[in-house]
Amino acid sequence: MNFQQLDNNDQKLIEAAKEVLLKNYDPVRHTVGAAVICSTGNIYTGINIEACGYGPCAEPIAIGAAFTNGEREIIAITAVCKKDDGFLVLSPCGNCRQLLMDYSPNAMVLFSYEGKVFKTQARNLLPGAYISDFASV
């Protein structure tokens, strides 16, 4: 698998995810912040919405904000949570990996692996993925 090192733009994305999480943090309801950067250069953020039964992750909220504002191409995405005195970049869950496959399979996804943060294309995080009729693959 092609894991790449982060660059300054990735750090900006992480900072945006941290910022939205700090603004909205709640130890039960909102524990994850996400940020996406689109082909226009705009950054959109979101937080998870914890609820009984189903609470959407922060990533679909950020992706939804981008698409709501007319964006159609996500270049990169990250999600963070608070950990000890700092933050931890999270790996996307299976549902979010499928969402990214459907909408932006070429987007770079920041994720944690063996204690370090890397990035790779969304398509690399879901080998043998189900491909829906409307996917952007």
Q: Rounded to whole angstroms, how far apart are CA atoms 66 and 98? A: 17
Cβ of residue 2: shortest distance to Zn ion, in angstroms?
A: 22
Residue of this chain nearest to Zn ion (CB atom): 57
Judging by DSSP bridges, how do beta strands 32-38 and 86-89 pair with one another? unpaired
Cβ of residue 57: shortest distance to Zn ion, in angstroms?
A: 3
Cβ of residue 63: shortest distance to Zn ion, in angstroms?
A: 11
DSSP string, 38-86: ETTS-EEEEE----SS----HHHHHHHHHHHTT---EEEEEEEEEETTE
Active site residue 59: yes
Catalytic: which of 50, 59, 71, 73?
59
Task: Provide the binding-site residues for Zn ion, judged by CB under 5 A.
Answer: 57, 93, 96
Q: Which residues are catalytically annotated? A: 59
